[in-house]
Chain A
């Protein structure tokens, strides 16, 4: 294995385990603990229906988290994903409303996301603005565009086809009973979950098996060394932001399709969930460290936490406080491990 996470310093992991595996196992244990606690507190938590809800919520965080992970590994950050999600979703909504076929509209929405990422990447590499500032600007620009395009009003009645991506499922089996009602035999695998799995596999493949992935780690690890080694640093960074933008666009389409409404106000502060997922999963904001498997676990931790707290009747405000604490704790534990 060539990309070893948590490289700086000797991590204190039990013998026979490397630091990366140890981190993932502890994150998995946390996830299992959360599920256990919530299941004990509320029987409905463990139902298939709720499982699907968690899966759907997580798919949006997960898609954003995958893009965020690539950007964070390069040593950057993308604060614009929540707004780009909204812009992409509304662009798709507007196009579909105007009569454009849904697949084309959605492709265009994702392309708009990728364009936002391209703009961020160019601002960061060519104008040499720090990622924090550049994507903060993009966050305002994309949100403003989404609100301006729609007059801040949601676009509804987008038709059944628009809602299929977010609400449909593969292998769904429904039986019509003699009394005329239909009964769901197997709820199927929701499309968003399939999308998440496919994207995660593709991203993991890219990071581990392709040159671009190797360069993403190298740039975050030591940008000057990467440049001197002949890595095209500018291209690598731009690629990371474009992927982050495109995935934000995809997440926006999933979310708005689920609501069957294009909401220019959607996705506020989602960037923080995505960052939290990546960081809980072991990505380091200093760059050079991170992985898709970890981010997926992180996304599920956030998804389960939010869902479980919802079901336990904890207010949205308290939820924010809890997630804030969780993120700080995750980063703290990571630093403790790396300091020894």
Chain B
């Protein structure tokens, strides 16, 4: 079997006395969509930010393609093909859509100048894939709607050669049509062999899109199940109580591992 795309082993993150992430291990394979669930403040974003290189873990190891990797900065993670849609979107308000999309890896002309024309054309293409009605590309993103901003954040993560995509509540601000397009996108990326971590509070989306769910509760990983092993109620129980219902048995009777 090929090694997992990424593995996180025994990850810890402490803020003073707060244990935001507590000995969490998980893995992601190519073409797999893993839902990361948990109550507010469970540590989902922290765990994912560690994988994005945005936060350094207090302890633990990360392996990419079977090899130990140190992700000291977002650039490091990106160079391994790990792209992130942050819960905060991470957009620079005064820059326009194209400038944000290419921020940190601008397209340049032969002389090293910014190639704004090319960046605008490329941005138009990739944004149209997510929202055909996206017009005001020249406006600073502070003037765009929440959904448009989210679309830019998504476009930025898929434009570059992505292998592992982290989506931290990517549809929180989207309308039903745009949410459906993101669902389509996730399915398409899975086809292409991209591994995806999807953080979402929307149980319907999770059951629709994910192959596996990982549930976090107060910083702990309290369960990793194939989506056909559990019901929505099982998952809710994991999220709230941190444990499965007492009389639980795998729904399809064959529990993996």
Contacts and interface: CB of A to CB of B under 8 A. Distances in A.
B139 interface: yes
Contacts, number: 104
5 contacts: A2-B119, A4-B140, A208-B114, A211-B112, A214-B103
Contact of B92 (A209, A210, A211, A221): A221
A4 B96 contact: yes
Nearest to B100: A229
Contact of A230 (B105, B140, B143): B105
A217 B114 contact: no
B94 A228 contact: no
A3 B99 contact: yes
Q: Give 10 nearest A-B pairs by CB, closest first.
A: A230-B104, A7-B140, A221-B92, A7-B94, A288-B94, A229-B103, A225-B90, A221-B94, A228-B90, A229-B104
B229 interface: no
Given A4-B139, A7-B143, A228-B74, A288 B92 contact: yes
Given A10-B143, A221-B95, A227-B74, 11 more contacts: A1-B116, A2-B95, A8-B94, A215-B104, A222-B92, A224-B88, A226-B92, A230-B74, A230-B75, A230-B104, A288-B93
Contacts of B116: 1-2
Interface in A201-221: 208-211, 214-215, 217-218, 220-221
Contacts of A224: 88, 90
A218 B142 contact: no
B93 A2 contact: no
A81 interface: no
Contact of B108 (A211, A222, A288): A211
B138 A1 contact: yes
B94 A217 contact: yes
A227 B92 CA distance: 10
Nearest to A10: B143
A222 B93 contact: yes
B243 interface: no
B113 interface: yes
Interface string B135-162: 0001110110000000000001000000
A71 B52 CA distance: 29
Contact of B103 (A7, A8, A10, A231): A231
Contacts of A268: none
A64 interface: no
Contacts of A4: 94-96, 138-140
Interface string A22-48: 000000000000000000000000000
Nearest to A9: B142
B33 interface: no
A210 B96 contact: no
A214 B99 contact: yes
A155 interface: no
